[in-house]
Amino acid sequence: MNDSPVLRVRNLTRRFAAGVVLKSLDLTIERGEFVALLGRSGSGKTTLLRTLAGLDEVSEGDVQVSPESTVVYQEPRLFPWKRVWHNVALGVRTPDARRRAEAALGEVELAHRLNAWPLTLSGGEAQRVALARALIREPELLLLDEPFASLDALTRTRMQGLVGDLWARHRPAVLLVTHDIDEALLLADRVLVLSEGRLEADLRVDLPRPRDDGETRFVHLRRTLRTALGVTDKQAIAA
């Protein structure tokens, strides 16, 4: 499936007892494409990601996802009784698993914490280990569900840069769920807005990288996305 998209969703509907969360949703992601997904809390972003990751059944619609996809969650989900490199190498069955774990940890600037226990890591370090654990699988599609949400602003900015660099180096397709409009605009080729169960906006970010958040076109795209999300300027300042 070399030129085929890494992800193709047609007519996906997901209902819970309380109502319909995803309504006949369509989405295609091409190889190497970086897509960000925005949406208000409760709009169904995690539900969509869980479905794409195969963690949730598909009862209505058609979902085709590259088998070589991995997920990174908001929290790192490391096993505390396994050393860092072992967490990264988990499930890698080749004899060079340790060497590959070392290489992946090097890419997230954690080569020096190879033998550390997860509980001795900072939040940002633990999240980088989670990224290394995804990278070692050389995924065609990386599903990221608010991977920086619990980090402080400075660490978050560094992590954004790191994800941008890793993407540029390895070129997996990425679907990044985030609440942060600027994060979406700094990193992605396309920004989607999920609202009322549908993709209300699908915006191409036609800006060269690295991006400047003060640049006129960036500011214009930010305003367009705020409107699509129904965020007023007052709410944006409060957030």
Q: In the complex, which residues of this chain contact ligand ATP (CB under 6 A)?
A: 16, 18, 21, 39, 41-47
b (16+ CB within 10 A) / e for 206-219: eeeeebeeeeeebe
What is the closest distance, in whole angstroms, from the C-beta atom of residue 103 to ligand ATP in the complex? 32
95 binds, among ligand ATP, Mg ion, none (CB under 5 to 8 A by kind): none
State which residue, 42 or 67, has the beta carbon closest to ligand ATP: 42
Task: By CB under 5 A, tell whether 51 contacts Mg ion.
Answer: no
State which residue, 55 or 168, has the beta carbon closest to Mg ion: 55
In the block, residue with structure tokens 């654990």: 133
Nearest residue to Mg ion by CB is: 46
State which residue, 47 or 66, has the beta carbon closest to ligand ATP: 47
Which residues, listed in sequence order, are joined to residue 199 by a DSSP beta bridge? Answer: 194
The C-alpha atoms of residue 58 and residue 55 are separated, in whole angstroms, by: 10
139 binds, among ligand ATP, Mg ion, none (CB under 5 to 8 A by kind): none
Q: Cα separations (Å) of 59 from 24, 46, 116, 144, 167?
A: 12, 17, 43, 23, 32
Judged by DSSP in three states, 188 sits in: coil
Task: By CB under 5 A, tell whether 46 contacts Mg ion.
Answer: yes
The C-alpha atoms of residue 109 and residue 116 are separated, in whole angstroms, by: 14
Q: Tell me how far apart the 2 most distant CA atoms of the chain are, in Å.
A: 56
What is the closest distance, in whole angstroms, from the C-beta atom of residue 42 to Mg ion in the complex? 8
State which residue, 110 or 194, has the beta carbon closest to Mg ion: 194
State which residue, 48 or 121, has the beta carbon closest to Mg ion: 48
**Residue type for position 123:** G
What is the closest distance, in whole angstroms, from the C-beta atom of residue 195 to ligand ATP in the complex? 10
What is the closest distance, in whole angstroms, from the C-beta atom of residue 203 to Mg ion in the complex? 21
What is the closest distance, in whole angstroms, from the C-beta atom of residue 22 to ligand ATP in the complex? 9
What is the closest distance, in whole angstroms, from the C-beta atom of residue 96 to ligand ATP in the complex? 37
State which residue, 46 or 69, has the beta carbon closest to Mg ion: 46
Q: Cα separations (Å) of 102 from 105, 119, 135, 141, 181?
A: 5, 19, 11, 22, 33
Q: In sequence order, what are the residues at sequence separation of 6 or more whose Cβ sits closer than 8 angstroms to the Cβ of residue 136? A: 88, 89, 92, 100, 101, 103, 104
Residues that bind Mg ion (CB under 5 A): 46
